Amino acid sequence: MLPVALRNQMTPILNEGFFIKKSYYNECLELYPAQEWYKIMAEMDQNNRFDEESQLFQRIFMDGLRPVEVDGTGRLLLAKDVISLAGITKEVKIVPMRKHLEIWDVKEYEATISISKEEKKNLVKRVMLNKKEDKDVS
């Protein structure tokens, strides 16, 4: 459930609705605001619809796609079959990822991000700093 202050700020986005689907890369769900989803679809429409590889990609990418609305109390009501696509059992972790949210089973999420402090330092260097030398970034 969304806090009232956040729900009030997000009213236009909430009124447009959302789309949810299984992640292409991870064992989680991805929740997109409708406007973001329409942008992705416009980009996918540029692909050759007769190309077999393009068709396969689209089938996998769209796996579990469903529209989602927010009820009056700020709850997202997700169908059980969509939840089961990501192996979500009871507790969930919601992770903001740029223009969409990821919805994970807590245990799966913790296992996915479980790396050592040294691996975290190297990751931030490669991704955020584009450096490979060993300088402390903490």
Q: Where are the domains of the chain?
A: 4-129
Instruction: Specify the pTM.
Output: 0.81
Look at residue 134 in the predicted model and tell me its pLDDT: 54
> CB–CB of 132/125 below 8 Å?
yes
pLDDT at 2: 62
Architecture of the domain defined by 4-129: 3-Layer(aba) Sandwich (3.40)
Confidence of residue 133 (pLDDT cuts 50, 70, 90): low
In this prediction, residue 10 has a pLDDT band, given cuts at 50, 70 and 90, of confident
What mean pLDDT is reported for the chain?
87
What's the distance, Cα to Cα, between the start and end of the chain in Å? 34
